[in-house]
Amino acid sequence: MGLLIEGRWADQWYDTKSTGGRFVRQESHFRDHVTADGSSGFKAEPGRYHLYVCYACPWAHRTLIVRALKGLEDVISVDAVDPFMGDQGWTFADIRTGVRSPGATGDRVNGRAALHEVYTLAKPDYTGRVTVPVLWDKKTGTIVNNESAEIIRMLNSAFDEWGDRSVDLSPAALLPEIDAINAEVYDRVNNGVYKAGFATEQAAYEEAVTRLFEMLDRLEAHLSAHRWLVGDRLTEADIRLFTTLLRFDPVYHGHFKCNLRPLHEYPALWGFTREIAQRPHVAATIEMTHIKRHYYESHRTINPTGIVPKGPLLDLSAPHGRERLAEAG
């Protein structure tokens, strides 16, 4: 994981010395918005916008799920980077071999070899981390946004002229509750696993992993009585939690030392994860091989050998039984 400094690539890991061993995630830099009427400067149009993603990344996975649930596959195109992240950051083929892994697409819009080259197309003197997802505007040749939370809101509403209007993952009446739970889940769970996994001091790790499992316990209690996090329907809050839970036992439990308890020992959380994973539109976005390969092969500071474990053996297709909570709200 490197970064660009005034448009020049530097292979630098996160600096945790200055933060007492704590991992601190940088803010996203590109924060423009696509709107239905174009008042933002970026008008929603079919075929104009393109997503750069990695199937391994939980943040990028959110955008793929919302794109699929909204029926926007023919409206917004997608390219996927290779799951292995080497000294050039995200690349469109395995940099060790020059060969694209199954599922990686290459850059079919800009023809670049590495994602950092897409960033410098948009801003030649860019300084910052090079992350996925990226929402690219083919018309103006620039990055619109690289903040997943904002991209999924755009996908949910800006493209309704061509997408499925019956699907609303961010209903206005529920937004205060959605925003509140999103903030806690982001801090303690979505980013919490990274705070534990990338910590370089024992105290920082223990602080992060304790807060993570306190939140998982709270979520387990809520989802034992409620089918969804907010209201009586699937919302973006559920999707944002789901992409972390999906990766928990295969990656975060072992690789990031989030091992107080595996997720499959939480009946409600594991059932919730299986229910969402079994939705046809969601199932098609899950690439478990990419998920495991990315983390175990790429993070050599954590897993120096790059060996990818065979397990755990988990059945996402097993009955979840959460229909009984349909009327619980």
Task: Output the domain CATH number for residue 45.
Answer: 3.40.30.10
What residues make up the domain containing 178?
Answer: 172-281
Q: Is 220 annotated as a binding residue?
A: no
206 belongs to an annotated ligand binding site? no
Q: Are residues 41 and 96 in the same domain?
A: yes
* Residue 155 main-chain phi, psi, to 5 deg: -65, -30
Among the listed residues 194, 205, 252, 296, the single catalytic one is 194
- Where residue 213 falls among pLDDT bands split at 50, 70, 90? very high
Using DSSP, state whether 41 is helix, strand or coil. Answer: coil
Residue 170 among known ligand-binding residues: no
**Are residues 15 and 117 located together in one domain of the fold?**
yes
Is 298 contained in some domain?
no
Name the token pair of 180: 């509140």
Question: pLDDT at position 5, please?
Answer: 96
Structure confidence by residue, pLDDT tens digits, 36-75: 999 999 999 999 999 999 999 999 999 999 999 999 999 9
Buried b (16+ CB within 10 A) or exposed e, 189-210: bbbbbbbbbbbbeeebbebbbe
Per-residue pLDDT band for 2 (boundaries 50, 70, 90) equals confident
Scan for tokens 């060969």, then name that residue: 99
Residue among 233, 226, 317, 326 nearest 268 (CA): 226
302: Cα separation from own chain's centroid: 20
Confidence of residue 326 (pLDDT cuts 50, 70, 90): low
Angle 236-247/148-157 helices, nearest 10 degrees? Answer: 130
Question: Which of these three, 110, 127, 158, is where a domain ends?
Answer: 158
Residue 24: predicted pLDDT: 79
Q: How many separate domains does the chain show?
A: 2
Active site includes 258?
no
Q: What is the pLDDT of residue 219?
A: 98
Q: Rounded CA gap, 77 and 288, in Å?
A: 22
Q: Is 9 annotated as a binding residue?
A: no
Catalytic choice (14, 49, 54, 57): 57
Q: Is the bond leading into 133 cis (omega within 30 degrees of zero)?
A: yes
Phi first, then psi: give them for residue 20, nearest 5 degrees: 65, 30
Do 131 and 203 belong to one domain? no
The reply to whether 57 belongs to the active site is yes
Helix, strand, coil percentages for the chain (3-state, nearest 5): 40, 10, 50
User: Which amino acid is residue 302, in one-letter code?
Assistant: I
Whether the predicted model's global pTM rises above the 0.85 cut = yes
